[in-house]
Amino acid sequence: MKKLIDLIADELMQAFEKKGYDGKYGMVTLSNRPDLCQYQCNGALVAAKLYKKAPIMIANEVVDSLKDNKTFDKIEAIMPGFINITLNTAYLAEYLNKMSKAEQYGCEKAENPETIVIDYGGANIAKPLHVGHLRSAIIGESIKRISRYLGHNVIGDVHLGDWGLQMGLIISELKKRQPDLVYFDENYTGEYPKEAPFTISELEEIYPAANEYSKNHPEFKEEAKSATFQLQNGNRGYNALWNHILNVSVSDLKKNYDNLNVTFDLWKKESDAQPYIPDMITYLKENNYTRISEGALVVDVKEDTDTKEFPPCMILKSDGATLYNTTDLATMVERRKLFDPDAITYIVDKRQELYFETVFRCAKKTKLLEEKVKLTFLGFGTMNGKDGKPFKTRDGGVMRLENLIQNINDAVYDKMMENREMSEEEAKGIAKKVGLAALKYGDLSNQTSKDYIFDIDRFISFEGNTGPYILYTIVRIKSILMKYKELTGSDLNDTGSIIPSDIPGEISLMLEASKFNDVIEHSFEENAPNKICQYIYDIANAFNSFYHENKIITQEDKGKQKSWISLISLVQGILETCIDLLGFEAPDRM
């Protein structure tokens, strides 16, 4: 279904052409003065230079050719050459009725679906998720959902960190604590135990203890490096321990991601790229992409257009060891082989921008990826406390993600119980949904690259630009529809059509509803969930203004009432679709 703004533009383009001007000047935008009009066209101002004519003269000619067009209630030329447009509400109502009946409310799927790999999450094995993992997970989940909604083949990959020195540190610490474990017996040839010799709680304590100990004990750090080397070169016992570490960690990670309503199609790891590294390095050398710099193997990625020095991409260190660069390039090779993607999007802290630019350039220069593959670095800003510094616990530590989620759920629960009487079980269930909405909306409503202040009191407010306010609006619509159904016995799926209106609040709500497919498309094109947040805030405001100005349930004009029920049913569907794309859902009551 064509976007409303495009349909309006088609009328203007034809009018420009009819008067002898290039149709491209008929482009239409939303009005920046909604008190004066709904849409505007500024093409006459630009065309004036080419046609050597006063812009107001061109605008008047175009408007004159549209004076009998039933699409518009009012269209006029304004000095120095603006064209102000107000739609006929019959035309607007007809468009909304088509939306109501259309699949996905008229939001069309892509004509040429792309295969897109989205790399998000970025958790490390043997470490708990903390607040620093929040943004990647929920931004990635939303972008994945938006992309799929538009028909693209999307593969979400958590890409776990599991192959560095941290593994050697954990193994060495275990050996220090429990030297008699069978995994450390070089002569053992039997089957290793199926159960891990540690719990997730013990594992999460082992790594920081080992890391801290290694700082003051260089011999222990050397032992950990040796253990890492042995693991990566096939030591049976160490490999069995590594598998235990993976299984225990992934089970815990899945539980925590489930609490965020975040899922992944792939639980790939850094180690999965290791088999691709030897052939990749041979290829780079044989095709003369590499050179030796101070003993290290590097690829020069500086371009002629660079105005400052740009570092080479290091492939191997002087001692022959691989780096993150090596692993990330090999992961691209793996993804090309497995999925042949059209695009790969990385959702990572914005401070990693230079690193990813280096790796991207290397992948394209060396033809590890074809030029057509779109590589996107979507860098996100920091979640800060009220002091403007990265969010911490009260004692200055990094807060675990599960504790952050629980804090929000508890705060919502307490707020609800102040004003509502319901069972503890029901209140906790609702608080979990509202808390997740508060957390996700509080994050996603910001432009991805911007830092923002985490303010739990503001995020859980039922008023203002917050997740709970959006949910409360949906619950209010649900309540109205249920009352209408109870009073009339009507089937809410067959309430008739939306009819033209002269009520300003209703027209505003109709206009907001009509923007749905345009907003979703732009959110996808710009990787911008914040655009959906702004949209649902606008439509929620428009609905609540309409609701306060009109008595829907007690409306005596039954034709008008049915039209209103149809309209708010459409609004409910749009809102629920949008919050699903953001990764949360609404309860039935609050």
Question: What 3-state DSSP class applies to 269?
Answer: strand
52 by Cβ neighbours in 10 Å (0-12 / 13-18 / 19+) ranks as exposed
Question: What 3-state DSSP class applies to 439?
Answer: helix
pLDDT in tens, 179-198: 999 999 999 999 999 999 99
Distance of CA 186 to the CA centre of its chain: 48
238 by Cβ neighbours in 10 Å (0-12 / 13-18 / 19+) ranks as buried
Opening angle at CA 236, ends 231 and 239, nearest 5: 50
For residue 157, the cross-strand partners are 119, 266
Contact, 83 vs 97, CB < 8 A? Answer: no
How many angstroms separate the CA atoms of 556 and 432, rounded? 39
CB atoms within 10 A of CB 381: 16
CB atoms within 10 A of CB 38: 22
Contact, 263 vs 156, CB < 8 A? Answer: yes
Structure-block tokens of residue 260: 């965020």
DSSP of 537-556: HHHHHHHHHHHHHS-STT-S
Q: Which pLDDT value is given to residue 232?
A: 84
Opening angle at CA 390, ends 384 and 393, nearest 5: 95
Q: How many helices (H) and strands (E) does the chain have?
A: 20, 13
Q: Which pLDDT value is given to residue 490?
A: 83
Nearest CA among 472, 463, 459 for reference residue 430:
472
For residue 74, the cross-strand partners are 86
In angstroms, the Cα distances linking 351 to 162, 347, 376, 490 are: 22, 12, 15, 56
Low-confidence stretches of the chain (pLDDT < 70) are: 495
pLDDT in tens, 88-114: 999 999 999 999 999 999 999 999 999
Contact, 484 vs 490, CB < 8 A? Answer: yes
Buried b / exposed e across 105-118, counting CB within 10 Å, b at 16+? bbbbeeeeeebbbb
Contact, 318 vs 296, CB < 8 A? Answer: yes
Contact, 373 vs 333, CB < 8 A? Answer: no
Structure-block tokens of residue 440: 């996700």
pTM of the model: 0.94
Residue boundaries of the structural domains of the chain: 4-87, 165-259, 467-582
How many angstroms separate the CA atoms of 132 and 384, rounded? 10
Is the dihedral angle over the CA atoms 323, 326, 332, 335 positive or is it negative?
negative
Contact, 129 vs 256, CB < 8 A? Answer: yes
Could you tell me the end-to-end alpha-carbon distance of the chain, in angstroms, rounded to an integer?
35
CATH superfamily of 467-582: Isoleucyl-tRNA Synthetase; Domain 1 (1.10.730.10)
4-87, CATH topology level: Gyrase A; domain 2 (3.30.1360)
How many angstroms separate the CA atoms of 322 and 160, rounded? 17
Q: Do the domains at 4-87 and 467-582 have one common CATH topology?
A: no
